[in-house]
């Protein structure tokens, strides 16, 4: 039995194609992945990401527990500030990649990947030597993401919050449609936009109101298909693809979320060793040159020899190219390396390029 998000019936009524995503029945697409993708780049898209998990850590020593399990430096956060971080094992691999929100000095709110939430919760509890309260709060929250250059104008029609004053990676606890809402200026598309956390019972009202308010702006409901092509163009990691328990932040190009000056944390010793010895494999972007699409899991060869694997790949609707990310030996993982991607037993030419593929115009 698939787990149901609160709005599953609303999505079906909009004509969504529903799929099993990590045990959740989720909308894959409504009008089409390319149409939805372009709407987000040009105007706005609305995503129901209520499958995402939330974990709350409370107590006088909440910061100690957050600092122990994550690689970024949560001590730098002010109230209302957010950071991207790694939840790491002692061996340096990812339990998950997460967003850490500081609600107050004794209260942190973590947004975690849907299929990892139980594992993350148990891992955090196992590291809790400080008598913090750790809550697996997923069922208490729905999450809607409104993304795109018109997102602020649309959301502004439904809230009294001063959206212009919410800077990137900041949030406020306010209201949308008169319902309590946590409004974060974050996203997973490479565009400006907001992620709104609210009670599941309020989700349908806010979803419908956002679609109505955005109609004149060209808003589209968007599914997981467009979410994936958008995040891939923006070079953002997806757990189970670019990162997992066997991959460290140094390999994934995420050393910026490892803060060496923060003191001890899970995985630190292994990461220090890896940094001292040199990282052997690294994530890089690629573009197809030959006819074919490199997709997740396909083998990468260099000069006819096995060299790595594709973590994510597919067409880029913005660039009109076939793009992807792959792991390669560190010495080959720089822009301009000629590689071959094995597409149905045939090598197809590609070349490595920097990540990200797309940056929004300033």
Partner 1 sequence: MSYPENFRYTKEHEWILVEGGTGTVGITDHAQKELGDIVFVDLPRPGAAVEAGKPLGSVESVKAVSDIYSPVTGEVIEVNELLAAAPEKLNEDPHGAAWLVRIRLSNPAELDGLMSAAEYEAYLGG
Q: Which residues bind partner 1 (CB under 8 A)?
A: 17, 28-29, 32-35, 225, 228-229, 291-293, 295, 314-315, 317, 322, 344
Between residues 148 and 294, which has the closer beta carbon with respect to partner 1? 294
Provide, rounded to whole angstroms, the least separation between the CB of residue 224 and partner 1: 9
Distance CA 358, CA 96 (A): 24
Residue 289 neighbours by CB under 8 Å, 6+ apart: 348, 349, 350, 351
Between residues 187 and 292, which has the closer beta carbon with respect to partner 1? 292
Q: Which two tokens stand for residue 137?
A: 């709060």
Provide, rounded to whole angstroms, the least separation between the CB of residue 295 and partner 1: 7
Distance CA 90, CA 86 (A): 12
Provide, rounded to whole angstroms, the least separation between the CB of residue 29 and partner 1: 6
Provide, rounded to whole angstroms, the least separation between the CB of residue 225 and partner 1: 5
Q: Hey, which residues does 193 pair with through a beta bridge?
A: 147
Q: Which helix (H) or strand (E) holds 194?
A: strand 193-198
CB 83 within 8 A of CB 100: yes
Distance CA 204, CA 199 (A): 10
Provide, rounded to whole angstroms, the least separation between the CB of residue 106 and partner 1: 43
Between residues 56 and 242, which has the closer beta carbon with respect to partner 1? 242
Provide, rounded to whole angstroms, the least separation between the CB of residue 34 and partner 1: 5
Between residues 36 and 54, which has the closer beta carbon with respect to partner 1? 36
Provide, rounded to whole angstroms, the least separation between the CB of residue 223 and partner 1: 10
Q: Which two tokens stand for residue 257?
A: 């979320």
Read off φ and ψ for residue 106, nearest 5 degrees. Answer: -110, 25
CB 65 within 8 A of CB 266: no
Q: Which two tokens stand for residue 223?
A: 């599914």
Between residues 46 and 288, which has the closer beta carbon with respect to partner 1? 288
Q: Which two tokens stand for residue 356?
A: 């990200």
Q: Report which of 227, 154, 243, 221 is spatially closest to residue 190, judged by C-alpha positions.
A: 227
Between residues 28 and 271, which has the closer beta carbon with respect to partner 1? 28
Between residues 6 and 317, which has the closer beta carbon with respect to partner 1? 317
Q: Sign of the C-alpha dihedral, residues 119, 67, 133, 202?
A: negative
């Amino acid at each position: 039995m698939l787990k149901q998000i609160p709005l599953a019936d609303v999505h079906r009524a909009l004509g969504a194609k529903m799929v099993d995503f990590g045990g959740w029945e989720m909308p894959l697409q409504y009008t089409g992945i390319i149409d939805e993708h372009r709407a987000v780049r040009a105007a706005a898209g609305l995503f129901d990401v209520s499958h995402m998990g939330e974990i709350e850590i409370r107590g006088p020593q909440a910061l100690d527990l957050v600092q122990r399990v994550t690689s970024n430096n949560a001590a730098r956060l002010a109230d209302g500030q957010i950071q991207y971080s790694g939840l790491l094992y002692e061996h340096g691999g990812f339990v998950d990649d997460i967003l850490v929100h500081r609600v107050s000095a004794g209260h942190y709110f973590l947004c975690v990947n849907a299929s990892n939430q139980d594992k993350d919760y148990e891992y955090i509890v196992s590291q809790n030597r400080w008598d913090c309260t750790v809550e697996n709060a997923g069922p208490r929250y729905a999450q809607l993401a409104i993304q795109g250059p018109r997102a602020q104008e649309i959301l502004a029609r439904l809230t009294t919050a001063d959206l212009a004053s919410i800077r990137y990676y900041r949030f406020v606890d306010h209201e949308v449609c008169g319902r309590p809402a946590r409004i974060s200026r974050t996203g997973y598309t490479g565009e400006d936009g907001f992620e709104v956390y609210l009670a599941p019972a309020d989700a349908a009202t806010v979803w419908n109101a956002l679609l109505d308010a955005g109609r004149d702006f060209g808003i589209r409901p968007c599914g997981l298909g467009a979410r994936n092509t958008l995040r891939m163009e923006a070079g953002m990691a997806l757990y189970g693809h670019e990162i997992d328990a066997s991959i460290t932040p140094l390999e994934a190009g995420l050393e910026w979320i490892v803060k060496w000056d923060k003191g001890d944390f899970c995985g630190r010793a292994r990461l220090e060793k890896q940094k001292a010895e040199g990282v052997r494999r690294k994530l890089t972007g690629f573009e197809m040159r030959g006819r074919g699409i490199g997709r997740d899991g396909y083998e990468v060869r260099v000069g006819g020899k096995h060299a790595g694997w594709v973590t994510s790949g597919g067409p880029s609707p913005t660039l009109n190219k076939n793009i992807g990310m792959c792991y390669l030996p560190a010495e080959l993982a720089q822009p301009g390396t000629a590689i071959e991607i094995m597409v149905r037993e045939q090598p197809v030419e590609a070349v490595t390029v920097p990540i990200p593929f797309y940056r929004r115009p300033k």
